[in-house]
Structure 1
């Protein structure tokens, strides 16, 4: 931090330079920003848990589905669970926990109407509002009910099987009676997928993926949630069963600057496959249904939430670099002490 900054001001993370490829911690800088004044209709939020998500990478020096580009000196976007510490909005009281767009900050001021009270089932951590019960969970739920549509006996393959979206989608498919196959990138993730997440089979990204996938999916792939790279997509597309459904949900390598992702048109045609793009904002009408359904599964223990926690806002750059490098294990959350 700049020694000239006031140490009593809240900490934040700003972009130091636009990343070239996979972000590194050096692409960011921890600073102290002056505390904003509060006016009528606003609340001051102390961030308790900050969500880090792959979409944030495409805002760094660029634009993501309408999000403003983030340039050097700007605070990256981010959603948080926070506590109201000062309020001039009649609908929110001091001490209340809310969900809000805060950016990578320890504290911020937002319009009260833009902050949503957080409610999770008993025994479920508040941070689940950023993962299984938040945007990643809604992405998984919408993909499950509207795009993958698995039925008992089918084989469903989930890319990035232990991430914030993939972990929920895989469990939902298993609970629907499908046979689930998870694609992972490390032995640590393989153990998680094979254990708590309950995948029927787990395969590793890399040169042996085609052989491993053929062994794990002898009847072909009936539904595939794509969250990975071009090489993985190419291998999966050649294993599709007739009438397969493919949800293009995440393009991790493209976020990091790789060439645009391409589809094997011949494989789509041969399988008579349905390929659909997933943009979570198109499925906001499922929000209440998603929270009710997934919340009940979390409360009963039928679905588990997997979170990769880091402590302190100063850890956000490292956490994000690990996320975009595929080193995270679960939904990435940065906890900020009260």
Structure 2
């Protein structure tokens, strides 16, 4: 490989619906020079997340749209291999926005040192201790607010957000029902994750949810599609709380998600949108609380791991079609 080039994944074409591996291409880009205040990172572990789909041909909360030939955005754990920033030492493991590439040059002021408890994998900084974990924690303490004996329903219960949210709700004394996409995920949800029950999305969800939630749904973390949302909204208990956290079908080009106003009114429900960027003030509290759960083994940090940058398109396609189990990470180093 040319030492003056860097491997990257570029968008080959804007996806139509669920992204396919052929929508991306492995390319070689010129190696960027290092200027004062910058650091060079060798990417060790790349995070893949649903929000990235919104940038492909579009815009996500102010992020620049990604067009053909562009490298998608993405956060990574990287090792500092060269530094012209006095505050960032060579050899450090840091978190940074690198995009889907093997190496990146970023401002030293924009990186943060990876901090995980002893015995916890550094990739947890991208998952349970990163943005997905903070999303789950903020939804738990500020929107769902489950009480002992209540029933909490989680969309995508075995995903990076759902797995953390489920453990937090269980520790609050709630019954937790996970919505999943396969029998294998249902077994994982009620087995390793310890959820009270698991139900399959799709045909039959209404009946299954009625059986699993005989007294209705007190809190719902939505991470699914319109059909799932419709079913759950009709099962809300009086005074229910709903956190709209992820709109997977809309990310993939589906119709705008709509809310059943009559169901909200009947339940006198509170419905709130979850945008993790609004809850940065909880970061230290989240890291301490979830870090303790990881250290004790009370929280299982599910990861769907792939090896090699070339696997990122396959991993992303599986994520956006709901075939992942846990937080999706790509190991490069």
TM-score normalised by the shorter chain: which range applies?
A: over 0.9
- 2:144: which partner in 1? 148
- Map 1:39-50 to 2 at 5 A: 39-50=35-46
Answering whether residue 160 of structure 2 is matched by residue 161 of structure 1, we say no
1:66-81 equivalent positions in 2, closer than 5 A: 66-81=62-77
Residue 105 of structure 1 aligns to a residue whose secondary structure is: coil
The match for 1:284 is 280
2:183 to 187, 203, 206: 187
Structure 1 residue aligned with 2:250: 254
Where structure 1 has 5 or more consecutive residues not aligned to the other structure, the ranges are: none
Separation in 1, partners of 2:2, 2:254:
40
Q: Secondary structure at the match of 2:5?
A: coil
Secondary structure of the 2:100 match is: coil
- Count, aligned residues: 333
Listed one character per residue, the Cα deviations across residues 27-82 of structure 1 (whole Å, up to 9, x for unaligned) are: 00000111111111111000000000000001000001111100000000000001
Note the C-alpha offset of 1:190: 1.2
DSSP 3-state at the match of 1:86: strand
Deviation at 1:6, TM superposition (A): 3.9
Question: Against the structure 1 CA distance between its residues 96 and 139, is the aligned structure 2 distance closer, same or farther, given a 3 Å change threshold?
Answer: same
SS in 1 for 2:299: coil
2:174 pairs with 153, 175, 178, which one?
Answer: 178
The Cα shift of 1:324 comes to 0.3
Does the 8 Å contact 1:60/1:70 carry over to 2?
yes
Which of these residues, 120, 126, 129, is aligned with residue 122 of structure 2?
126
Hey, what's the Cα distance between the residues in 2 that align with 1:192 and 1:334? Answer: 22
CA distance in 2, matches of 1:315, 1:175: 36
The match for 1:226 is: 222
How far does residue 94 in structure 1 lie from its aligned partner after superposition?
A: 1.0
Distance in 2 (CA, whole Å) between partners of 1:237 and 1:163 is 21
Can you list the C-alpha shifts for 1:177-228, whole angstroms capped at 9, x where unaligned?
1000000001221121111111000000011100100000001000000000
Q: Which runs of 5+ in 2 are unaligned?
A: none
1:99 matches 2:95: yes
Report the aligned-residue RMSD.
Answer: 0.9
| Cα shift readout 1:237-262 (whole Å, capped 9, x = no counterpart) | 00000000000000000000110001
Q: 1:8 deviation in Å?
A: 5.7
Aligned-partner SS, 1:177: coil
Question: Is contact 2:4–2:31 with CA below 8 Å preserved after alignment?
Answer: no
Alpha-carbon distance between aligned partners in 2 of 1:218 and 1:188, rounded to the nearest angstrom: 24
The alignment status of 1:33 with 2:16, answered yes or no, reads: no
Give the drift of 1:7: 6.9
In structure 1, which of residues 326, 332, 338 is the aligned counterpart of residue 328 of structure 2?
332
CA distance in structure 1 between the partners assigned to 2:192 and 2:83 by the alignment: 41
For the 8 Å contact 1:48–1:335, the answer to whether it is kept is yes
TM-score by length of 2: 0.99
- Measured in 2, the distance between the counterparts of 1:8 and 1:125 equals 31
The question of whether the paired residues in 2 share the 8 Å contact of 1:7 and 1:32 is answered with: no
Shift of 1:10: 1.9
